[in-house]
Amino acid sequence: MTQRRADQLAREGFNAIPRYSSGADVEIDLSDNTNAWGTPPAARSVLRAAAGTGAARYPDLYGESLKRTVADRAGISPACVVTGNGSDDVLDCAIRAFAAPGDTIAHPDPTFVMLPVFSRINNIRPVPVPLTADYAMDADALLATGARIIYLCSPNNPTGTATPADVIRKVIAHAPGLVIVDEAYAEFAGVPGLLSEAPSLERVLVCRTFSKAYGLAGLRVGYGTATPAIIETIERSRGPYKLNIFAERAAVAAMTDDAGWVVERAAEAVANRVRLSDALSAMGLSALPSATNFLLVPTPKTVVLAARLRANGIGIRAFQNLPGLGDAMRITAGPWPVMERVLSVIADGLEGS
């Protein structure tokens, strides 16, 4: 039997899938929309108290205590909740469970950069569908793809824009297969989203995360809600033990004891995002309307300004050639003194250019 060449061991085409790169390693990281105020207090004390205890045993198979906590808050049954190693994991598991290699997944473009990557990892073809002129998702165009899975993200990353509920409901009403509604930024949006409703909709998975408003990105915790049948299918794809015991305990604390802290910090992020947008606008930079804790600011000066911010210890996400938008800076909203630093570097950068 002939042996495969070492560079042909991976599945055909697999090595063309990019590895993720992030802009970290700066004093102030505003590049990934995590909680710029940090981890909430009860979750922090859970982690301190937990240090060293319990690590010799496996965690719960599917994260029952977190399922119960999410279910309580959402007013649904724990059988309607799936947990994962970040919502990345929930998305990845759902994609491979609900579409077969060679099937398609339709998604708005631009959207969460990992979505097409998870699709390709699972040998499922991503079909990008441009946003509408007002940066909403295009229900008719998404439906016209006939894709096995339709992915929606509202509010959307990286645009920050929300899609009206009636547009999302139209996709759900007519989709041939599973509809994934990614609500990673729902806590900033000021509208309830579909988390509680998903179990009563036949073909919908709503995904949320502890990485943004809840301040636990480093622990990797995400969850989804859907009918028990959809949840069970995703859990088959997920496998056991995805949520480590410390992450599960901290997430439960963040969603219960820290609930007030989370709401207050989210409100502060939204208020500072509005102030930041106004201040940028006074400098001639106009951000897209946002329903999140970040702003997308299209400008041909993106690369120059991002380099200048970086030289000043501040990381933002610099996008190049976003469809329909060109180059754009994505900036996480944080405490106001930090926003003032950002504004002052940008003001200098604009003056110097």
Question: Can you give the binding site for ligand PMP, defined by CB under 6 A?
Answer: 86-88, 112, 153, 157, 182, 184, 209, 211, 217, 222
Give min distance, CB of 333 to ligand PMP, in A. Answer: 14
CB-nearer residue toward ligand PMP: 88 or 187: 88
Q: How far is the CB of 87 from ligand PMP (least distance, A)?
A: 4
Cα–Cα distances in angstroms (integers) from residue 203 to residues 68, 132, 155, 169, 196, in the given order: 22, 24, 20, 11, 14
CA–CA distance, 285 with 347 (Å, rounded to integer):
10
Q: Which residue is nearest to ligand PMP (CB)?
A: 86
- Cα–Cα distance between 47 and 328 in angstroms, integer? 37
* Dist CA 260 CA 9 (whole Å): 51
CB of 265 to ligand PMP, least distance (A): 17
Nearest distance, CB of residue 56 and ligand PMP, angstroms = 27
Q: How far is the CB of 317 from ligand PMP (least distance, A)?
A: 10
Which of left, alpha, beta for 349 (phi over 0: left; psi -120 to 50: alpha)?
alpha
Q: Residue 182 or 235: which CB sits closer to ligand PMP?
A: 182
Q: Are the C-beta atoms of 222 and 209 separated by less than 8 Å?
A: yes
180 sits in the region (left: phi over 0; alpha: psi -120 to 50; else beta) called beta
Question: Which three-class secondary structure state does DSSP give residue 57?
Answer: coil
- Comparing CB distances to ligand PMP, the nearer of 74 and 91 is 91
Nearer to ligand PMP, 78 or 86 (CB): 86
What ranges in 108-164 are assigned the alpha helix state H? 114-121, 139-144
Residue 118's Cβ-side half-sphere holds a number of Cα atoms within 13 Å equal to 23
Helix (H) or strand (E) holding 300: none
Smaller CB distance to ligand PMP: residue 158 or 349? 158
Rounded least distance, CB 107 to ligand PMP, Å: 11
Measured from the CB of residue 84, what is the shortest distance to ligand PMP in angstroms?
A: 8
Minimum distance, C-beta of residue 267 to ligand PMP, in the bound complex (Å):
20
Q: Considering the complex, what minimum distance in angstroms separates the CB of residue 215 from ligand PMP?
A: 12
Q: Which is nearer to ligand PMP, 88 or 109 (CB)?
A: 88
Nearer to ligand PMP, 151 or 261 (CB): 151
How far is the C-alpha of 91 from the C-alpha of 222, rounded, in Å? 9
- In angstroms, the CA 200 to CA 133 distance is 32
Alpha carbon distance 339, 20 (integer Å):
27
Question: Are 62 and 68 spatial neighbours (Cβ–Cβ below 8 Å)?
Answer: no
Nearer to ligand PMP, 33 or 233 (CB): 33
The answer to whether the CB of 119 falls within 8 A of the CB of 94 is no
What are the start-end ranges of the H helices in the chain?
Answer: 41-50, 64-74, 86-98, 114-121, 139-144, 165-174, 228-238, 245-255, 259-282, 302-311, 336-352
Shortest distance (Å) from residue 242 CB to ligand PMP: 12
Cβ proximity to ligand PMP: between 69 and 209 the closer is 209
Residue number, 212 or 341, with CB nearest to ligand PMP: 212
Which structure tokens are listed for 256? 């219960």
